[in-house]
Amino acid sequence: MENPLFINNAISFQSRSSFLSLPLLIPALKTPTKARERKLIYTISKFYNISSSSGTRAMPSGEDNGAVRNFKLNESTFLASLMPKKEIAADRFVEAHPEYDGRGVLVAIFDSGVDPAADGLKVTSDGKPKILDVIDCTGSGDVDTSTVVKADDSGCIVGTSGNSLVVNSSWKNPSGEWHVGCKLVYELFTSTLTDRLKKERKKRWDEKNQEAIAEAVKQLDEFDKKHTKVDDTNMKKNREDLQSRVDLLRKLADSYDDKGPVIDAVVWHDGEVWRAALDTQSLEDEPERGKLAEFLPLTNYRLERKYGIFSKLDACTCVLNIYNEGNILSIVTDSSPHGTHVAGITSAYHSKEPLLNGVAPGAQLISCKIGDSRLGSMETGTGLVRALIAAVDHKCDLINMSYGEPSLLPDYGRFVDLVNEVVNKHRLIFISSAGNNGPALSTVGAPGGTTSSIIGVGAYVSPAMAAGAHTLVEAPPEGLEYTWSSRGPTVDGDLGVSISAAGGAMAPVPTWTLQHRMFMNGTSMSSPCACGGVALLLSAMKAEHLPVSPYSVREALENTCIPVGGSPEDKLSAGQGLMQVDKAYDYIQKLHAVPSVRYQIKITQSGKSAPTSRGIYLREADFCQRSTEWTVKVEPKFHDDASNLEQLVPFEECIKLHSTGEGVVKAPEYLLLTHNGRDFNIIVDPTTLSDGLHYYEVYALDCKSPWRGPLFRIPITITKPQAVKSRPPLTVFKGMSFVPGHIERKFVEVPTGATWVEVTMKTSGFSTARRFFIDSVQISPLQRPIKWESVATFSSPSSKSFSFAVEGGRTMELAIAQFWSSGVGSHDTTSVDFEIEFHGISINKQEIILDGSEAPVRVDAEALLLLENLAPAAVLNKVRIPYRPVDSKLSTLSAERDQLPSGKQTLALLLTYKFKFEEGAEIKPYIPLLNNRIYDNKFEAQFYMISDTNKRVYAMGDVYPETAKLPKGEYTLQLYLRHDNVQYLEKMKQLVIFIEKKLDEKESIQLSFYTQPDGPVIGNSSFKSSVLIPGAKEAFYVAPPAKDKLPKGVAAGSVLVGAISYGKVSFGVNNEGKNPEKNPVSYSVSYIVPPTPIDVDKGKGSSSTCTKSVAEQLEEEIRDAKIRVLSNIKQSTDEGRSDWKKLSISLKSEYPKYTPLLAKILEALISQNNFEDKIHHYEEIVGAADEVIESIDTDELAKYFSIKSDPEEEGAEKTKKKMDTTRDQLADALYQKGLALAEIELLKGKKVVDKEDAKAVEGSSTQPDLFEENFKELQKWVGVKSSQYGTIFVIRERREGRLGTALKVLSDMIQEDGSPPKKKFYDLKISLLEEIGWAHLVSYEKQWMSVRFPPSLPLF
């Protein structure tokens, strides 16, 4: 395999469709979704912070940042718009300072992985290597290479896949030890690349399969022409065989499922470094390509900066890193194009087209892959922590992270703690995306928008970007924030968005996309744009020997921004504004003599010690109707290496405090601040404010250096809601006018007692289609913001209706925004009327728990607002089964990847759980303590794997478990937890998890309702519905499910869970109560499964007295005890085998005709696997099987099964059981004898005949066939095509040359078996396919073997 990469079809800038038709990664396009459903969407996408082309209008932002009117694009301005730099003044800065283009700066890209072969990412502007390291921090590409082998005389080794591999004789390996492992290659590829490869491979496979079908049809046709009449039995079987071949090939074409080829990996030490090579023959068309010996060996990228590709077909770059003394090989590929795109925006360098350069083309990078390929590129705790370790280890200057999600608690969690350490101690500057969940307030995501030590970046679009990159017919007149860019404040009042930068670009993408670059937009793009801008500043600071500190850089950025928008409230969208590199540089030059300090703000309401916050956020009506006093503690924080005497003691600042709203926010005028900090009070009086959004700041100026601008800011956000006083409770907003990008924010105090709203939106006044975001947000303590969102497209003036849940007594923000690009050029103003009607049924129980008894649960329902239809509906449609671990292992992880910057070692706890399903099930693990939190979680990481007894992995996941379909069988769930605190992990050793099984429609239980407590037992007084009158309570009972309705096999202690709803909306939902979750408001209902009833009839039928004497009973007990001793003898040693043989001979002489003994001896012989003389071993099995057969009276057995016995007759059940057992023993003996005869036949190369029979027919032309005779005898007793005995039928058909019939029966056996696949069946299938000559099917089945029967479980 060669390292140069295969690249095809660079994007054409003249064609719109060449890039706009490309699908964006996880676009933030919204669908009408209830808030609780949207939470699931977060768990799936965990927004990369990429979005579709949409945005939010802002006010003019200056003539130098792309906000120009009536401009025309030319080629240069068009190309420049594709990689925006003018907006943040990066172009001017580099033009003025060409050597400050990022040189000397190292940036860590925390993302989905960066392709080192991508266009523009090979070298810097001054010729240095662009990417210094490429690391998979997630472990998703790890291969277990702990198996060590040695080459034979011909230089061959056997890989863990079973393939024979030829080692290149020129490779140095002084020890002669080769570490081997293997990997399913699709596990390394993105779904997009996998889909492309599957299409290509399916096309080739179809061609070969069609050839095989054509040949099989030809053979069948020739047979039919040659044999016009088929009367002979053998002739019929031969024709059936040919027909089976045709049918099989056609069926396989329909069921084809490409799980991908397996690649072998080999690792060795060449005397200096560890090296690795891959065998990728399975990816190649030509048999001579992709061989191990042809691979150019690679070592860790950091050492030699070399990479490879798997094949020209995939064109996918890979990097190999070796860890743990050669026992782990990390194959690094990207998990999406996102990371390469982000890296390109930061620092791509194109010598021939500088307009397409990234912001800092001179900067160098390390790629830290945090997007786990096993989870579709979602980040994991392991990936995040290892990335921080790598950034510190490489002495990076900057980190960019364009990942995030909503969080429960801002500025909290294990990752946040480690980020604080990296920023405060190691002086890295951390920049991250704010999120794509706008336009509503309080939608910033973690960590970028919620963490104090991270610079969160919003997404801005300029007119030039709109006209060029977005190819709009008419650009907006001013620059503005994209509509979807997340807004502040955080739930604890912090601003959320620090600064803004250009939020879209045409940037490099990986080579496997078969193009040079792609357009994406989102805060994922604005973050690296800002990061590149900061790299320019650091480049200048390093060149001029100015001290670098994240504190001073942040101060310079925030105090030199150009405001986006003309009102104070616009800061919640764009932060301090659009960053300006040149102005920040000027600021930093003046700042170098000022100590680097960050100002930690902690605010509490006066008289209270908790909760603390970073801003003041008055959102609820109560706070907006009175004056409140707040205590602010300001603490100057220095870097950890600051000197006590030289920096901390002398620090003293005279600060003048300013309020931007003197009539509302009052603060002291001056403050003398020392290192130990200072408290002061702020009074906020919103009583005179109008309804709506108001934003103020208290900011601090240095009296000696007022030019610095604010040293710190205290954001004060007030969302004064309007009260709903009308009855029925109805709020109408009429005649709202919208132009592209305009946002209307309405704040309403949701009436107490309201639980859902019904909304109607009516539009008018336009001629072309209009697109709107409609968001609703409420904030409740210790919850993620409760958000409902929808996108509504109006092709013509019309109305749409929505319904969603609300929480009574809390402020609801309703944000309505016309897309920034929707309606541009039409110049029509859209008029919108918005009507909100509040509904509600208040209940006394938020969660219904049925305790397993027969008693129902009473529910009190009340309508406080207006008449409501009370129509309860409840369903139990899932069962949660609790499990405790059967094993726990605590280990210390390798220091290579898992030693924290503090020097602490990361520990891992591996918990093992076992469970079993008697039939196929759709399941999901549920870990209440850990699920649904990644950033706001004090545990570092969690990851689980579910595998069957063959080690096949059926499901993997982390904090957001997903549903998996499992066939019946036994399973193991391994849960992997990480932390550096051993006490935390010790407490988790008995962690309870649930396996949540989805019930199908037949098993789901619809609960009943009654007006009386005895209703469930008596069966009367059922309750269906009624009308609730405001102020009047009504009660009813929720009945537990009937015991005979419980799903089969549900154990005591399991919990049936589902949903219950009480009301009906006037539109949109009509499911007749079958699915309460379709209602806008539903609640949890659960039922604890009680112990099973005692079977009082058990044992009644076996009360007959025993007729045997005590001596006979004793003799039987002794006999059975001896047999048990024989069964327990281990035959793994020579001594054990000798003891077993002696005892078996002794027992046979003592009980010569006792069938159970003889069956046990046969069973033991079959289980032996350490024999040398195979023929003798199989002859012993034949002899033992004959002894079992001879011990059974087959005539008596046949007579019993030919006569239908009376089951009510005394002793009939016992007799039946005995006869069934005897028949099974006979059938098993015949079956094992047949298998042994077939093996002897194969070893001798001729049919096995009985010696006595052979003498009897000596001289005759027909020799007796012992196998055939045995088969016919077996056929009398059991179905020989069943999965239990079908192997013998397959062997028989194979002996007769009817391979098609053999394959058909074998395929049916495999399908009917149902339990985890048996390897012997698939080995037999492959051998039949090889014999029949269908090479493409042999290859296909061998690939599947690695899926069904992997050599080991994958690494975590």
Which residues are part of the catalytic machinery? Answer: 111, 338, 524
Query: What Cα–Cα distance (Å) separates residue 1242 from each residue in 552, 1178, 1246, 1288?
Result: 82, 11, 7, 14
Distance CA 1183, CA 1177 (A): 10
Using the 8-state DSSP alphabet, how is residue 648 labeled? I
Query: DSSP readout, 800-869?
Result: EEEEEE--TTSEEEEEEEE-TTTTTTT-PPEEEEEEEEEE--EES-SEEEE-SSS--EEEEEE-SSS-EE
Instruction: Please state the φ and ψ torsions of residue 417, each to the nearest 5 degrees.
Output: -60, -45
Distance CA 514, CA 516 (A): 7
Sorted by sequence, the CB contacts under 8 Å of residue 479 that are 6+ apart come out as 58, 60, 61, 65, 66, 67, 87, 460, 461, 462, 463, 564, 578
Helix residue spans in 394-482 (DSSP H):
414-426, 463-467
Using the 8-state DSSP alphabet, how is residue 990 labeled? T
Query: What Cα–Cα distance (Å) separates residue 170 from each residue in 157, 166, 174, 560, 1170?
Result: 15, 12, 12, 60, 39
Assign 3-class secondary structure to 1119-1173. HHHHHHHHHHCCCCCHHHHHHHHHHHHHHHHHCCCCHHHHHHHHHHHHHCCCCCC
- The two beta strands, 786-794 and 712-720, are unpaired
- The two beta strands, 1083-1088 and 847-850, are parallel
Structure tokens at 596: 């680097």
- Beta-bridged to residue 13, according to DSSP, are none
What is the enclosing helix (H) or strand (E) of 965? strand 964-966
Query: DSSP readout, 1170-1189?
Result: --S-HHHHHHHHHHHHHHHH
Helix residue spans in 59-190 (DSSP H):
75-82, 90-96
Sorted by sequence, the CB contacts under 8 Å of residue 513 that are 6+ apart come out as 192, 337
Query: What Cα–Cα distance (Å) separates residue 683 from each residue in 627, 698, 837, 1236?
Result: 7, 11, 36, 93
Distance CA 964, CA 144 (A): 25
Helix, strand or coil, per DSSP, at residue 1115: helix
CA dihedral sign, ordered 1104, 1110, 1112, 1116: positive
Contact 476, 57 (CB under 8 A): yes
Structure tokens at 905: 């070692």
Instruction: Please state the φ and ψ torsions of residue 301, each to the nearest 5 degrees.
Output: -55, -35
Instruction: Please state the φ and ψ torsions of residue 703, each to the nearest 5 degrees.
Output: -60, -30
Sorted by sequence, the CB contacts under 8 Å of residue 1335 that are 6+ apart come out as 208
Instruction: Residue 1027: name the closest of 866, 848, 846, 839 by CA.
Output: 866
Contact 791, 761 (CB under 8 A): no
Contact 1194, 1222 (CB under 8 A): no
Amino acid (one-letter) located at 668: P
Contact 1040, 853 (CB under 8 A): yes
Instruction: Residue 117: name the closest of 275, 314, 262 by CA.
Output: 314
CA dihedral sign, ordered 640, 644, 645, 648: positive
CA dihedral sign, ordered 663, 669, 673, 679: negative
Helix, strand or coil, per DSSP, at residue 1010: strand
